[in-house]
Structure 1
């Protein structure tokens, strides 16, 4: 088709909640219409620029990168509402690389400097960053158009004159065709006349916000989702207006009377030539001493590591280091290694625990430079998995950091390289199936229950495998039925499908940080995180890497914070320094703990499934732990029984080919790691590392054509290498079922070593480790209850909080007791807790009068004193019932005597009692049931006892605890559970019958129970909060959550 028109003003769903086209769909629509060029001009951002650029290139379409900017009426720094505010927009397109770089600056500054409800630029920025840009003054939001619409032709003329002076021959006035909008053609006629009067060319456009005209309703809907409004389908104009992606023929017909407007779209498209150089890496400027290079500094650092690590400089080790350094140097990656090594050196100096995982553990240079903590020679980790000499892959070093100190390391990077050169990577929250349904239902004005009911019919997805609405309609009969029979459900579902997967908001990547050699905005657009105010990239991690910035992963890991806290407790309490990098790897206590299945709180090894395997395995080496970390996942899990059997009976170990023993000896002939597959392919089938990597990728994607080609190549290679055809076939079958889910060995070793460290601390310093575990999970009631139960099994008491012994967090009292922290008490502020701890520095509180007189904090009010009493924090100085019965008296005493303590130290340290006394009126003591109920209310769990304690003998006869049954008992099979009832809710069915929902809990946890009318009527008097019951019924899974359908009930 002759080039007669190009779309220069289009929006994607990255114009967040204002437009709906996805990038692939938008580009596909342009390709299907035979368009030669296409511009993307999202509102105030460049989120999708790189993805758009690449997809256009794939389809043979010239990509034009632009932005639909918001222009501040009185300058970007003016952030006050005025009655004369003028709404103004400006479309800028990048002609070349200079224009693209200026777009990066404009977008970044609009967010960092001009944001006021919207990111805004102003005339100053436009003038400063005009080079390489084409300006299009939009017909709907341009300053001139707004002025003409409001009858101010002088202001319109002034605006046109200014833009013409700034952009000269690269300034255009947009005209659009909307016969469906009243008064639009009159405005366009005025725009054309005013543009011609100024000598500014006009350009035809269709301000596109959706692909097909029938999507207008969906587009209006996302705008209502954005604003929180409700769509009034009877009164909205969506049925009239048309901002769809019109085909060329329609645009040519619409502008047949303005041929120059069409011609100018082609002229602009031809003028835009942006050859982005993607995939060329840039590294931070790491300072090196005079006379040295990055390569020589890394060389010296690695060689110094031999002494620091205690590793001998054998010919083999030297050869490995020189080999790695040559590849690192040839790829230009030395600066990256130096940056990471310096960062982790700083972490060690500041006692911030780290754990480097992933394929980087296969590098001896990384080990010697202090980047990783495992010796790749000892674990036979191949360097080529990390950096393949035949593949242009970037280095990727994943750093796990103690999550409570992660920001310290990011601040260190900012300080060293400059704040303007560092940013965290942005990411996008999308409207997945369930969320889309709820959003749509609300915006359509349906009651909450409608959206909630439909959403709950859609199954939960798994990480990396989201569930779509369409797949749910295929697989969920209840949803199929509702969609077919309920008009409301069909209404919501049909619209939700149109916006499912669209970007909803921008956020911060969990780990990714970029460090650039110059300001980050020279490479990518940046903005503030809407929630936390951190500087983030507008490009996601893939686009960031496309433009050459390497992603540094700073992933906060709670387990490292737990370890650090436990180590500090051991140091201060027992004066023992624990060096995690020098732990003995043959500790009998550690392996005994794992063999007994005491894995709660152990990194990667907790959970009933893997724990049962550990009990069978009885691990005796770090290699066993590494193997379990790797094998406990879909696919490889089927090999666990064979691994266990062969460990305990080596006679069962057999190899299809003798050469396999060198690779699989430590795993008893079982393929455990992804690396095993690659090494087997190289050794037995003659693969190169590049071919082996292609094999890994093919198995990961499971594409039949690729797999067939790989199978043929593998079998041919095995036969050429001397392996029988039958043996080759058997080996391929083993590899094929394993490799798609296989774990990298370096990753498993890194995680396995961290798992060992957590197990070592739990086994050797149990009370300190458990206190740290409790502190880390404070606020997670179910987790705390589980840990408290584990403490009880370990012989460690977890005591209620105490004003005389508790600190803010959980505190170790002695080798067999831990105190709740004051921060854990609900309705009790940390400020009051800190005041209590500070006052206690003058000595323990002797009685309630002493306590009240020494706490000056004004927030020690009725609510906080009641919380202290009910939680048991004052048990040492007075009984709970007596204190609650005198609560008003306590408050009066505190107001009168605060600052006048009942006891103070004399000059010689002796305690001198004052005359202030507090007499309590007689009040009934609190019962055990009351104390337990208060602890549950204020601490989230029972501490000084448990409602089921009186039924322990009966509960001991139960086959398994509720938590264990929820995890693995077959669904639909009748079983019995026992516990006490909480959160009882009853309701009437459509037939007017009463049914009940509640939670039944035991020592291990609880499960939601459902009691239908028949069962409820038979035992209604039993279903009371606090009742201890035995229930017969069946477990059921609905919407990803377990519940128990009750068939019979009796009291314990």
Structure 2
């Protein structure tokens, strides 16, 4: 009877206050959720997580605890690194103490090298002296003689404790005596802890591996760097009672601290920034005024009933939730960008909102596009609406820095991204740990090494697979989200610690987007698209407003139908270009469909073919009819195919009678991160409701099948509409202003699918654009327009060149034009390598020198002492050196030699098509080119040659490869079956010059070759030149 009582009593006699999770990078060997699960198993009343210099893992523990429904208390703390002092553990007992803890952690990281954060005693004193939360912060010191006990006693007073661990390693008596002596000397109570690094002892091998990775050693050499036993796990209260039977007060103090901790992460309430509004306005009235003004600008002074009704519906919804300041914040951020002439456009589900459209956040009219507002915001979603905005990629940083400047570093921070161990990286790291050279990673070597260590290293067997499973998804380091920003009205730094990002000038919060969603905190996404940069630069050259580009231009649709869309946003991929001649979009909504068609969800669910069949029937006068008016209204415009998750959601509400909450739950279950079981459960629920509503069995089954496709990847219709509009506008610019658009593309690299040389060759071939080479007297950093349909290339593409040097050269040119190569060298600051590149690519032709003469002349100049010499020295040297005479002592280069040099130096050549020159140099190349393919009969065997342009093997293609070759007349599309791709991939991954044989396939006007064989070809003759150019084509420095 007494034993039973003792066991029951022991269950509540101890709380572990400071577990280290895997966010104590390369130290903790368990996830914070593992600790929650284990604490529940042990029936503990509370559990504490205290990672090193961070609170990264706490939201995950909080979520696991919330989902369990068990009233287990989560104690929130952190182990703080102190400069020249043992670390301390700080525990927040209240919301105010949490705010101070976050400020302390922020100070730990501020201005420090990543991974080396610390805080001085002076800084700690200053922070605690002025903050009211100090009285509600508990401090636990290590059992270390180096502690400044008097200092910490003066700050934390009766909330200061001394930790005592018992590792069962023969040193526990010594530790205990030391702790008792210090406790008595400084009147500091002792608190028991097990220095927990993992939730169960079976994680000890993984913790050892993490230690080896951290220390850069192998297991055989780790020695005392490893823990001596596996005792640092989350022990039960009964185990700790037995371990501390002589010091019950140390266990009691854990309960005392836990009982005093009243703080919960649920207390963190997000507050929108309170934006300044004009006098006489509230946030609600000012937002309404801005929206109504924007709506009248877009729809006309008199709003239609439908527009007015939707505006009032949305404003009422946002007012009810108190989200007006959120939209005013976005409005002000974008107003600032607009004033700086930074191009932007909202994307994602935000385009479903007429409020976003009226405020100029998005560019798609949700009324005419019939977009579903509930996809953006609805009563079932407690979290704030998610607004994603794309900015031109070269100027996004201006927007980011303006946000920091506007709100301050203590109220704004970018969202963290947790970079985790993936299978390949984990495998390599673990192999390093066991001493296998990563250059010789072979399965049998690795396995034998682990077997060898199984008996040598530990009583437990060490196997690779269990370790890889355990380390999978462990955090490796903290990065920065692609564009997520948290902005608050109250100090953000008292809600979550902020630390420097890897990129200078940026700071990030310690939580990722999932953590923020768990805690109900809003983020905005400041993203980027390279094509917005292209569109801005092109429209500046043309002198038009990109927002005014018409969406019904017939000539643009003709270009799209011909699939001449290389360099156009979203419709330049091989898959898109293959589909365009069949889909032939003719209206803006069909551009929305076009963007959505080439997605894994479409191919996996077979939607693409079904859509095309349905559209063809509609064009023949047989539109889709389901027998239900509500269903036809939703999927009639996509010809009977539920193409977007929004449509599934709308079907659930309008056809099946789901509430907005139920429909949103269904939509969320279709997310790509959800489990197959979740998708199946919700899908079956929808299927039964469809049958009950009178939907025919085959259509209900088809809709159910679509949900499986969405589970792999599917984005909102509003997102597709936004991207479809940008795709069309980029195609419009290419159609009507091909030179200006090409110039903008060149000046926005690197981006897109295609190399500069292909884009140049296509524009010259199809649009009559003239492209002129770099000229020391005319070129700038960027390419410029030099006349109608004429582009002058800039210096930016020359290898190793620095923009500052080019700007200096331009400033010298403005002072006085360069008159000779000597003058150019003496007044510019280019390095020897760059000057070499300029000369051998014929940059000094303007001074009457060909490539070889200018190269040797500049080479001689560069050998002068100090390289930079006066004009007189150069002239004197020129007179005395026969090789520098202007007399032609070298044979001229061939076009092919010049082209090879150009590719080496810049990645492009203006010498004409390289394939045309190769056919002259290599007579045995097949004569069939891309211009003749349409004349070849279907199923005919054919041989052709070209330069590799695109190599793709997308996951949905089930192992098939898709390659595009370029020749002098255009492109050749190849399809490789899985076995063929695997057989020849070593060739086309090492050589860009390919000869293939295969069988012709034709679908309408589009021709592809199903490949049978692949081989590479190279230039057999040597480059006849006295300068270091590559001698074989495959040695070119391709971009």
TM-score bracket for the superposition, by shorter chain length: 0.7 to 0.9
- Say whether residues 1:884 and 2:855 are aligned partners: yes
Which whole-Å deviations, capped at 9, do the CAs of 1:536-590 have from their partners, x for residues lacking one?
11122233344453101100221111111111222xxxxxx32222221111221
- Say whether residues 1:944 and 2:939 are aligned partners: no
- Map of 2:1007 onto structure 1: none
Partners of 1:848 and 1:395 lie apart in 2 by 61
Kept in 1, the 8 Å contact 2:168–2:231? The answer is: no
- Say whether residues 1:317 and 2:283 are aligned partners: no
Task: Report 1:646-661 matches (<5 A).
Answer: 646-648=614-616, 649-659=619-629, 660-661=631-632
- Say whether residues 1:178 and 2:170 are aligned partners: no
Q: Secondary structure at the match of 2:135?
A: coil
Kept in 2, the 8 Å contact 1:210–1:245? The answer is: yes
Q: Secondary structure at the match of 2:191?
A: strand
Kept in 2, the 8 Å contact 1:881–1:924? The answer is: yes
Which whole-Å deviations, capped at 9, do the CAs of 1:962-1020 have from their partners, x for residues lacking one?
6478447999999999999xxxxxxxxxxxxxxxxxxxxx9889999xxxxxx99xxxx
- Map of 2:76 onto structure 1: 65
Partners of 1:695 and 1:971 lie apart in 2 by 28
- Map of 1:22 onto structure 2: 31
> Which structure 1 segments of 5+ residues have no match?
74-86, 140-144, 148-155, 455-478, 571-576, 903-916, 981-1001, 1009-1014, 1017-1021, 1035-1042
Q: CA deviation at 1:310?
A: 3.8
Partners of 2:96 and 2:993 lie apart in 1 by 74
Q: CA deviation at 1:636?
A: 2.6
Q: Secondary structure at the match of 1:235?
A: helix
Kept in 1, the 8 Å contact 2:496–2:510? The answer is: yes
Partners of 2:961 and 2:830 lie apart in 1 by 52
- Map of 1:1040 onto structure 2: none
Q: CA deviation at 1:695?
A: 2.3
Q: Which of 617, 635, 649 is the equivalent residue of 1:678?
A: 649
Partners of 1:926 and 1:496 lie apart in 2 by 61
- Map of 2:934 onto structure 1: none
- Say whether residues 1:203 and 2:191 are aligned partners: yes
- Map of 1:931 onto structure 2: 898
- Map of 1:118 onto structure 2: 117
- Map of 2:207 onto structure 1: 219
Kept in 2, the 8 Å contact 1:804–1:840? The answer is: yes
Kept in 1, the 8 Å contact 2:687–2:704? The answer is: no
Partners of 1:313 and 1:527 lie apart in 2 by 48
Q: CA deviation at 1:273?
A: 1.9
- Map of 1:629 onto structure 2: 595
Q: CA deviation at 1:683?
A: 2.5
- Map of 1:771 onto structure 2: 743
Shift in alpha-carbon separation, 1:449–1:738, aligned structure 2, 3 A: closer
Kept in 1, the 8 Å contact 2:436–2:446? The answer is: no
Shift in alpha-carbon separation, 1:817–1:704, aligned structure 2, 3 A: same
Q: Which of 276, 283, 295 is the equivalent residue of 1:287?
A: 276
Shift in alpha-carbon separation, 1:742–1:562, aligned structure 2, 3 A: same
Q: CA deviation at 1:635?
A: 3.3
Task: Report 1:230-379 matches (<5 A).
Answer: 230-233=218-221, 235-236=223-224, 238=226, 240-242=228-230, 244-248=232-236, 249-277=238-266, 280-311=269-300, 312-379=302-369
Task: Report 1:452-531 matches (<5 A).
Answer: 453=441, 483=447, 495-531=467-503
Partners of 1:231 and 1:421 lie apart in 2 by 45
- Map of 2:667 onto structure 1: 696
Shift in alpha-carbon separation, 1:179–1:712, aligned structure 2, 3 A: closer
- Map of 2:50 onto structure 1: 41
Cα RMSD, aligned residues only:
3.9
Please, which moves more after superposition, 766-775 or 969-978? 969-978
Shift in alpha-carbon separation, 1:128–1:712, aligned structure 2, 3 A: closer
Q: CA deviation at 1:314?
A: 2.3
Q: Which of 608, 613, 619 is the equivalent residue of 1:640?
A: 608
Q: CA deviation at 1:622?
A: 0.8
Which whole-Å deviations, capped at 9, do the CAs of 1:806-863 have from their partners, x for residues lacking one?
21123333444434321211133333322332333357545434434xx523x34533
Q: Secondary structure at the match of 2:355?
A: helix
Please, which moves more after superposition, 125-134 or 108-117? 108-117
Shift in alpha-carbon separation, 1:6–1:923, aligned structure 2, 3 A: farther
Please, which moves more after superposition, 159-168 or 200-209? 159-168
- Map of 2:923 onto structure 1: none
Shift in alpha-carbon separation, 1:508–1:1051, aligned structure 2, 3 A: closer
Partners of 2:414 and 2:490 lie apart in 1 by 15
Q: Secondary structure at the match of 1:539?
A: strand
Kept in 2, the 8 Å contact 1:363–1:386? The answer is: yes
Kept in 1, the 8 Å contact 2:27–2:210? The answer is: yes
Q: Which of 775, 791, 796 is the equivalent residue of 1:802?
A: 775
Please, which moves more after superposition, 616-625 or 190-199? 190-199
Partners of 1:70 and 1:933 lie apart in 2 by 57
Q: CA deviation at 1:488?
A: 8.7
- Map of 1:988 onto structure 2: none
Kept in 2, the 8 Å contact 1:881–1:923? The answer is: no
Kept in 2, the 8 Å contact 1:69–1:121? The answer is: no
Partners of 2:637 and 2:245 lie apart in 1 by 77
Q: Secondary structure at the match of 1:6?
A: coil
Task: Report 1:749-828 matches (<5 A).
Answer: 749-778=721-750, 783-794=755-766, 795-828=768-801
Please, which moves more after superposition, 482-491 or 808-817? 482-491
Kept in 2, the 8 Å contact 1:808–1:834? The answer is: yes
Q: CA deviation at 1:409?
A: 1.8
Q: Secondary structure at the match of 1:277?
A: helix
Kept in 2, the 8 Å contact 1:1032–1:1048? The answer is: no
Q: CA deviation at 1:688?
A: 2.6
Partners of 1:770 and 1:392 lie apart in 2 by 46
> Which structure 2 segments of 5+ residues have no match?
1-7, 454-461, 876-882, 920-925, 930-941, 977-982, 1000-1010, 1021-1039
Kept in 2, the 8 Å contact 1:771–1:810? The answer is: yes
Kept in 2, the 8 Å contact 1:978–1:1030? The answer is: no
Q: CA deviation at 1:226?
A: 3.3
Partners of 1:869 and 1:1049 lie apart in 2 by 29
Kept in 1, the 8 Å contact 2:644–2:716? The answer is: yes
Shift in alpha-carbon separation, 1:775–1:538, aligned structure 2, 3 A: same
Q: Which of 584, 596, 605 is the equivalent residue of 2:562?
A: 596
Q: CA deviation at 1:526?
A: 0.8
Shift in alpha-carbon separation, 1:23–1:199, aligned structure 2, 3 A: same
Kept in 2, the 8 Å contact 1:808–1:833? The answer is: yes
Shift in alpha-carbon separation, 1:829–1:299, aligned structure 2, 3 A: closer
Shift in alpha-carbon separation, 1:1006–1:132, aligned structure 2, 3 A: farther
Shift in alpha-carbon separation, 1:220–1:926, aligned structure 2, 3 A: farther
Kept in 2, the 8 Å contact 1:400–1:557? The answer is: yes
Please, which moves more after superposition, 800-809 or 711-720? 711-720
Please, which moves more after superposition, 252-261 or 631-640? 631-640
Q: Which of 784, 797, 809 is the equivalent residue of 1:836?
A: 809
Partners of 2:636 and 2:1019 lie apart in 1 by 57
Q: Secondary structure at the match of 1:416?
A: helix
Partners of 1:679 and 1:493 lie apart in 2 by 45
Which whole-Å deviations, capped at 9, do the CAs of 1:1017-1036 have from their partners, x for residues lacking one?
xxxxx99x9997746799xx
- Map of 1:537 onto structure 2: 509
- Say whether residues 1:426 and 2:416 are aligned partners: yes
- Map of 2:138 onto structure 1: 134
How many residues are aligned here? 933
Q: CA deviation at 1:921?
A: 6.1
Q: CA deviation at 1:175?
A: 0.9
Kept in 2, the 8 Å contact 1:646–1:668? The answer is: yes
Q: CA deviation at 1:668?
A: 3.3
Shift in alpha-carbon separation, 1:782–1:438, aligned structure 2, 3 A: farther
